Amino acid sequence: MFDSEPSSSILLHQLPDDFLSGKPVETSTHFYETNDPSIKSRVQLTQHLFCLLLQGQKTVHSSTTTNRIDAQSILLMPRGSVLMTEKTTDLGTYRSILLFFSTAFLLDFSARHGYSTQGMKELNNAAIVWEKDAFITNYIQSLELLKPATISPIMQQLKLEELLCYLFQNYPETMQQFLAGVAQEQQHISLKQVVNANIDNNLTIEELAFLCNQSVSTFKRHFTEAYHTSPKKYFTEHRMRKAQQLLQLYQRPSDIYHRLGYENLSSFSAEFKKHTGRSPKQFQLELDPNSTILEPIA
């Protein structure tokens, strides 16, 4: 599955999608075996993953960390893009049990069991490694006993919840940090969906915050975390980019200022000059008829 590909035909693995034949599920369990080592395979994790390594070694490079595990360790990875290297044993074997679960499943699990991220200041979006203890060793053995039979979706969820309950009980701070990172990512996804859907509707910050079910201060904080800039600067830059596109189409400033969310022509002209150093009319006069039309910010 993780064979290295030449640079001319790099293969991207999407997990657990590649295992599921196009059937999305909230949790899934996969017993993975191979005799072929791999080096820095490109993997897009569409769900979070527990890797319970049985034989061999694994190295995972993410955007922020590098983690290495062997058969004495287990690994929890958040969804995202990673590079995976798998090394077989001296006998040429690599075996692991992979437990995938969605963000929705984790948030539902935490709500049902009373695990909260309230007050968490430190978030953890990185992979986490634990050494196997007696419980985890016996837990893995219980999964292997189920391998010969078809594990029902309910059994898969129950076994996953068993592991999550154990880790939350014994490593509460580490798991709460991971949960907080997942919850923040989900907030960013929802916020970006609202922003993208209303990018040209000229809504106020208060109105966007309302659509996100957030206070204005919370919305501004989450917006800055998601976009790395303030809402005001982001939307101003988008309007100015769109204004330049419309002006390149030789639309009159008096016809577009209201469309861009300005109450009058003078406020639009002042903002445009502040942003570009030229008035809208000057911008049009200096246009090169062969220039490429600017694309608005997505």
Report pLDDT for 120. Answer: 62
Q: What single DSSP character describes residue 297?
A: P
Q: Domain residues of the chain, as ranges?
A: 7-178, 198-298
Report pLDDT for 22. Answer: 72
Q: Where are the alpha helices (DSSP H) in 204-260?
A: 205-211, 216-227, 231-248, 253-256
Domain 198-298 CATH (choose: 1.10.275.10, 1.10.10.60, 2.160.10.10, 2.130.10.10): 1.10.10.60
Strand partners, 113: none
- Residue stretches of the chain with pLDDT short of 50: 1-8, 293, 295-298
Report pLDDT for 11. Answer: 83
Peptide bond just before 16 cis, omega within 30 deg:
yes
Residue 272 zone, left/alpha/beta (φ > 0; ψ -120 to 50; rest): alpha
Report pLDDT for 293. Answer: 45
Does the global pTM surpass 0.75? no
DSSP SS3 for 274: helix
Report pLDDT for 188. Answer: 83
Token readout for 196 is: 């993208």
171 φ, ψ (degrees, to nearest 5): -135, 60
**pLDDT tens sequence across 19-70:** 987 778 999 999 999 999 999 999 999 999 999 999 999 999 987 789 999 9
Per DSSP bridges, beta strands 27-34 and 94-101 are: antiparallel
Q: What single DSSP character describes residue 93?
A: -
Token readout for 276 is: 């570009």
**CATH number, domain 7-178:** 2.60.120.810
In the chain, % of residues over pLDDT 90: 65
Report pLDDT for 185. Answer: 85
Report pLDDT for 2. Answer: 45
Q: How far is CA 227 from the centre of its chain?
A: 13
